[in-house]
Structure 1
Amino acid sequence: MKRITKVLTAAALALSLGACSTTASPEADVKNKSDLTLEQVFKNTQQADSELSSVHMDMELKQTTHNEESGEGSMDMSTTSSTDLVMDPMAMHQTSSVNMKMDEMEGNELPVAQVEMYVTEEEIYLKDNMQNQWTTLPNEMADLMKQSALQESSLPENQLKQFEPYLDQFTFKQDDETFILQLTLDGDQADKILKEGMGMMNDELQSTFEGAMEDMSISSMDLKMWIDKESFHTVKMEVQQTIEMKQNGEVVKLDQTMTSVFSKFNEIESIEVPAEVTESAVEMKSPFGQ
């Protein structure tokens, strides 16, 4: 029995190492074929993304919330954003919009929010479609938003670090311009990724989300990444996941698809806040009563 166990263990290890050293399967009619292994592409991509000085990101998040137990109708929400990010000194300019549609609603989606934001090391300037007035945030809110912005914007590098333990589970393909990496995780594995993502946040962000995370789990996650063959930058990422949340003793399901497209790698030299913003901004009142 021990001999059989050793053989099976060795076979499993060989399969795992073999998957990491396999070259990408070409899609139809691929002329620019690469012989790099998945492990080589992974390391090169980690290096390229970690050395970014600036990047542009276009993101679209679509999510449908439904409560199967209560039989209530579903609610669709879509968020789009366009972001310029400079790493050092940290600065960001972002425009975003949120739209919502419910089963009870007739016609088109209802615009919920439209926001423009500048983030610097010193200040955060924010304007939405409700107030139509530039505001600066109190220090405690500004610090949280800066950390949250960096967490989201550095997604490719963070994701690669998180998914490295599952390297042998990736599907590895290629077309003429990109390597295509795809991964499917079950609930336990996806929940582990969720907890590890929280661990990458600072203490303040962790405490902010800790209570909500206890009532949240991921039942499935599908990740797909497109990596440029020449620069090894992540040019596109798509994450599909189903999240289950407990609310008032009932389970609410959230089907979510997030697509991020990255461009202008190291092309954005600086982000300047316009004088009309700094000169007209008023300080927002703190929700903490300070």
Structure 2
Amino acid sequence: MKKLLMAMAAGTLTLGLAACNETAEPTEGTSEEKQSDLTAEEVYEKALTASQEMKSAEAKVEMDQKISIPSQEVEMNTNTNMDMEMTLDPMALHQKGTMAMSAAGGEEMSMEIEVYMTEDGTMYMLDPQGEQWIKMTGAVPGLDQLTQNQPDPSEQLEQLQEYAQDMKFEQNENEYILKLTADGEKFNELIKQTLQEQLPPEALEQMGEEEQKALENMNINELQYEMYVDKETFNMTVMNMVMSMTMEEQGETLNIDIDSNTAYENINGIEKIEVPQEVIDSAVELPQQ
């Protein structure tokens, strides 16, 4: 998981290296004494080092997702707001928030979500209907393989550099800002390759023929990133992403639009994530499959 987060940060920053020798353009209101002469490449290298040294963080995630099947006039909207604490090595987390879902012409359904995952992979999840804690041992199949198979950031650097189409490198008083609009067509091959490399082998083996065809017929139509990097620590403080993609399955076209905003804070400030004793005592364990 740590490699995944590092690779995501590295990959996004790497996309901007087309302008690697440029310094950041000051945004309106940035004072002269706060302006930096670092180039995009220098910011990238320092941010990559900071991401490699990240051991824990808090994150606030807001995501809107729309899935539609035009031929059937089906549309499903999902809005997620989540607060998360996580340690990365070993991986453990606590996340709490809400998920609201609505279909075209239907009522909105909202549910509370709270999850703990311990260092040994045990998961405690609150049932939003019965308010009963559920314990799942080994609830994340393939987690070890998924963690081990994440691409190395240096490999991401080599793979993604040629995919930059347009990028802005800016700065305000306290942060560097990298804005990228990527050519979705150029990204398709890379995204498919990355998914195939990162999915656990057993997941690929269990995929049916239709699912494999859907993966092959996936197209990224639009991909935008906006990243903020702290000028002093070079930690990533904000990552915003807009992605539009289509998938072809069983003769149907499936459109997926995602707009996500993630803010990071308290980086390396969490020593350990503890599951409350009352959660442990009251949890009902699900039988292993």
Report the TM-score, using the length of structure 1 for normalisation. 0.79
| Structure 2 equivalent of residue 102 of structure 1 | 103
AA partner of residue 66 (structure 1): S
| Structure 1 equivalent of residue 84 of structure 2 | 83
Distance 1:51 1:80 in 2: 27
| Structure 2 equivalent of residue 13 of structure 1 | none
Query: How do 1:1-290 residues align onto structure 2 when only pairs under 5 Å count?
Result: 19-31=19-31, 32-70=34-72, 72-105=73-106, 109-111=108-110, 113-122=111-120, 123-139=122-138, 141-144=139-142, 161=157, 163-166=160-163, 169-198=166-195, 199-204=197-202, 211=212, 213-286=215-288, 290=289
Distance 2:280 2:154 in 1: 32
AA partner of residue 39 (structure 2): T
**Residues 177, 214 of structure 1: alpha-carbon distance in 2 compared, 3 angstrom cutoff:** same
Q: Which string of whole-angstrom CA distances, capped at 9 and with x for unpartnered residues, describes residues 121-166 of structure 1?
A: 2221111202422122142x33446877x79xx9xx7997574554
Distance 1:17 1:61 in 2: 27
Structure 2: stretches of 5+ with no match in the other structure: 1-15
**Residues 269, 23 of structure 1: alpha-carbon distance in 2 compared, 3 angstrom cutoff:** same
Number of residues paired by the alignment? 262
Q: Find the residue that maps to 1:41 and give its secondary structure.
A: helix
Structure 1: stretches of 5+ with no match in the other structure: 1-15
Distance 2:18 2:202 in 1: 42
Distance 2:263 2:205 in 1: 30
Distance 1:175 1:275 in 2: 45
Distance 1:18 1:219 in 2: 21
AA partner of residue 109 (structure 2): L
Distance 2:233 2:205 in 1: 37
**Residues 134, 66 of structure 1: alpha-carbon distance in 2 compared, 3 angstrom cutoff:** same
Distance 2:204 2:36 in 1: 41
Q: Is the 8 A contact 2:17 2:41 kept in 1?
A: no
Report the TM-score, using the length of structure 2 for normalisation. 0.79
Shift of 1:18: 7.6
Distance 2:279 2:66 in 1: 35
Distance 1:283 1:133 in 2: 11
Q: Find the residue that maps to 2:234 and give its secondary structure.
A: coil
AA partner of residue 53 (structure 1): K
Q: Is the 8 A contact 2:65 2:259 kept in 1?
A: yes
Distance 1:245 1:158 in 2: 30
Distance 1:17 1:184 in 2: 13
| Structure 1 equivalent of residue 13 of structure 2 | none
Distance 2:96 2:112 in 1: 8
Distance 2:161 2:266 in 1: 26
Shift of 1:50: 1.1
**Residues 135, 164 of structure 1: alpha-carbon distance in 2 compared, 3 angstrom cutoff:** farther
Alignment RMSD, CA only?
Answer: 3.0
Q: Find the residue that maps to 1:243 and give its secondary structure.
A: strand
**Residues 205, 46 of structure 1: alpha-carbon distance in 2 compared, 3 angstrom cutoff:** farther
